[in-house]
Structure 1
Amino acid sequence: MSVLQATGLVRTYRAAGGDVTAVRGIDLAVSAGELVAIRGRSGAGKTTLLTMLGGLDAPTAGTVRIDGIDLYGRGGDALLGVRVASVFQGFGLVPILSAAENVEVPLRIRRTPAAERTRRVAAALDAVGLAEHAAQRPAELSGGQQQRVGLARALVAGPAVLLADEPTGQLDSETGAQIMALIARLVHEQGTAALVATHDATLLARADRVLELHDGRLRPAATGPEPAPASAAT
């Protein structure tokens, strides 16, 4: 059964020159342990789609279900029981917190007991190869290490769904390849349903399935290189 399921998603924004529809009737299903990559030129609607799937932006029409829970069917209360986590291009770490403290944030929000928090944080940092860097703050870590902390934070609470928006966008190619390999390994090992928006050929090659977003519509990706990016922002 699909862990993440979207049906008939539409997102329309009001603009001075008339309504703009960024996402047009998208249907999508992602299973546990499946890594799905979405590619598409800038402005195709990738970020809009991810924000709707993560419960951050209500669709104009359609439904999103995670673990069978309708994200937008019962107002804000529906989001309380949803196990979804995100990885950001800009890392999103709190500068004054150590790596371990950053990873611990989702567990504090869930009021996880202290002993359990300590165990889970240590295991998450070990899984991403940063056990020896637990006490360091983001400014003391490389870009690749910061993204590893972000990944550990996303996975520490055992989410059903992982959403990532250009997770290697600020990394060099070698470091990006390492992060992509890590994401693929952890998703498959932990049975997380993952959806990653990316232009990175390394992740596209590691994905179980590659989809393409074009003019707000989702379709299986054609073989060959991705179309050249447009000038518009995503």
Structure 2
Amino acid sequence: MTNYTVYKDFFFMEFSDSKQFQVLQGFLFLLIYLVSLMGNLLIIMLVTVDQCLHTPMYFFLKNVSFLNVCFISVTVPKLILSSLSHRSAISFPGCVCQVLFMVSFDTSELFLLKAMLYDHMWPSVTHYTMTIMNRAVCVQTVAASWLFGSFLGALYSYGSFSLSFCGSRKVPQFFCDVPSLLKISCSMMHVTIDISVIFGLIYGFFSLVSIGFSYCYIFNTMLRMPLLQGKSKAFSTCMPHLIVVSIFSQVPLPI
């Protein structure tokens, strides 16, 4: 069967046909992007400079902030440029890079969120005082998250762009993601990408379920604590991580 895939540009959806509104939305996204960028870079700088924050918990937090910077930088600058230039096209290599990096950063961040939970939350409620992670283990954990994220990103990008695109190149989204590419593909068989999606969904599902069960145990342990001060300390320790996980679970994944 002839493969109709050629290295042509893809085209994104537009928020509006009005050029004035596109410019307005471009500056609005630029403002949001800069605020998010500054917030995450501030966290990275504070954790790096302050010696009191050189703990495994904040080491992982710094890396999560770095991943956030990378994640938003994959799509938002292109969206801003498209709005200001009134040209919603993206090259074939650019679309490949968006899928590759978005999946990689998203997977790596979920990996680190689990590492933060098991390193910091469990000792806070079980009075387990032995250090679970030293610096070497922290570095190895971050490296493992990047390697696993890169593997899944490469798997998704290979599966997505091994498809044929013989019709419209109009992506029904504001960036390149797997579901949108599947919609415009004319390939009848999606074996590679189907396996990739199933693998990614299983990983994400069991990761979130394991975090959920861990918090059930944590809160159950907190309720049995005799001292109110201990409960308050454990609760204040867990809540920031729980909020981050809750926000993360609501973000639409690029898979």
Do these two structures clear the TM 0.5 threshold for a shared fold by scoring above it? no
Which has the larger share of strand?
Answer: 1
Which has the larger share of helix?
Answer: 2
Task: State the structure with bigger RCO (CA 8 A, min sep 6), 1 or 2.
Answer: 1
* Structure-1-length-normalised TM-score: 0.27
Higher-Rg structure is 2
* Structure-2-length-normalised TM-score: 0.25
